[in-house]
Amino acid sequence: FKRVELEPLPHMTLDFVKLLNDVCEQCYCDFAPDDVEVNVREHILQDFENFLRCQVPGAKLVLFGSSKNGFGFKQSDLDICMTLEGQDTAEGLDSMAVIESLTKALRKHHALRNILPITSAKVPIVKFYHTKTGLEGDISLYNTLALHNTELLASYAAIDIRVKILCYVMKVFAKVCDIGDASRGSLSSYAYTLMVLYFLQQRSPPVIPVLQEMYVGEEKPVVLVDGWDVHFFKDLKNLHKYWPEYKKNKESVGQLWFGLLQFYTEIFDFKETVICIRRKEPLTTFKKQWTSKHLAIEDPFDLSHNLGAGLSRRMASFILKAFINARSVFGTPVRGFPPEYSNKMEYF
Ligand code: GTP
Ligand code: MG
């Protein structure tokens, strides 16, 4: 990301910050699933598990990703992780054979279409399309770290409603600008969520703590999964006792959204710094040896995983331009929206 000349912005007005805030809150209301939709997902999972158990003995399914992390959309895909009873890790497992029998079994399910096994990925998956709901999804095997990062994201979402709203706004922004699809060379929504969380940790005063650095007692516990430390502070009811900055930040979501756009266009140095939510102290691309990448986003648990590694120079610059544009659009006060847009956020 090269530093580019930024357009000077006019003075921000209170009225416009209020309008920005309304837009952000509306975005959350329009896109967050309701209880019925959440329950439908649990039902599908239960139905799959009952069905699979007859064909793949001991199959256990769990939902993860945005169905569970607090940042799900009505149409978000179903991310499902499969494990086998009595087998704690994937070690010694013939993944290809399991994927094969899983594929065969899913092809017999009346409500599923387009069953497609993908075995070339780091975690093998079987993709599917659920005809009754129109939802797409995939079942992965022993995607254990993803279950932990889902829980970590869910914890951040539970700390403050502004976290949730901002992550929705960011995901909508990425979709609208067509910069939120890792399979087409941009970044995954998971990566954008990490960008929001990092900004909220670095804000002064911070909106959220660094849960992975917090612990009770003398020494930070280490909990290893697949060789990575997955410890984080989970006692959220008592967060106020252990985090001195609890509720110190009083900014509105509108202020924070504009703050985020300013942060990633005016302040954050993509060349020097890694977006890293597991520690407060800045982490350099030099230290990670990620200097050749255009954008570095470290996975909170799998520290060898840079979510920005797949970006081409062109795509990185396209993404930065979307942020620069958004800074101008959301940073230039106008008096309300044109009437045709004022009812609902249909333009999304
Ligand atoms: P949606 O766009 O609403 O589906 O968001 P999502 O968070 O469910 O994203 P996605 O379906 O792409 O990924 C599912 C989950 O996989 C994420 O929430 C993470 O828990 C986990 N995950 C871990 N590493 C990666 C990664 O490198 N890329 C992606 N996409 N997901 C990862
Ligand atoms: Mg998903």
Question: Are residue 219 and residue 338 in the same domain, yes or no?
Answer: yes
Q: Which bound ligand lies closest to the C-alpha atom of 32? A: 1
Tens digits of residue pLDDT in 207-226: 999 999 999 999 999 999 99
CATH code (residue 257)? 1.10.1410.10
3-state DSSP call for residue 317?
helix
Q: Which amino acid is at 275?
A: I
Single residue among 109, 143, 177 that ends a domain in this structure: 143
Question: Are residue 116 and residue 153 in the same domain, yes or no?
Answer: no
pTM of the model: 0.95
| Main-chain phi, psi angles of 116, to 5 degrees | -140, 110
| Distance between first and last Cα of the chain | 27
CATH code (residue 134)? 3.30.460.10
Beta strand 125-130 pairing with 135-141: antiparallel
Q: Which amino acid is at 97?
A: A
Q: Which two tokens stand for residue 219?
A: 């020494």
Single residue among 115, 143, 171 that ends a domain in this structure: 143
- C-beta 32 within 6 A of ligand 1: no
Share of the chain above pLDDT 90, in %: 89
Name the residue range of residue 133's domain.
35-143
Separation between Cα atoms, residue 297 and residue 285, nearest integer Å: 10
Nearest CA to ligand 1 atom 17: 65
Indicate whether 1 belongs to any domain. Answer: no
Q: Which bound ligand lies closest to the C-alpha atom of 76? A: 1
Tens digits of residue pLDDT in 178-209: 999 999 999 999 999 999 999 999 999 999 99
Give me the number of domains the chain comprises.
Answer: 2
Separation between Cα atoms, residue 232 and residue 214, nearest integer Å: 7
Separation between Cα atoms, residue 114 and residue 132, nearest integer Å: 13
Question: Are residue 282 and residue 246 in the same domain, yes or no?
Answer: yes
The ipTM value here is 0.96
Determine contact, residues 149/299, Cβ cutoff 8 Å: yes
Question: Are residue 165 and residue 205 in the same domain, yes or no?
Answer: yes
Nearest CA to ligand 1 atom 2: 189
Average pLDDT, the chain: 94
pLDDT tier at 346 (50, 70, 90 boundaries)?
Answer: very low
The CA distances from residue 229 to 145, 214, 215, 263, in Å, are 10, 13, 13, 29
Nearest CA to ligand 1 atom 24: 146
Separation between Cα atoms, residue 163 and residue 173, nearest integer Å: 15
Question: Are residue 94 and residue 153 in the same domain, yes or no?
Answer: no
Question: Are residue 125 and residue 58 in the same domain, yes or no?
Answer: yes
Share of the chain above pLDDT 70, in %: 95
Q: Which bound ligand lies closest to the C-alpha atom of 69? A: 1
Nearest CA to ligand 1 atom 27: 307
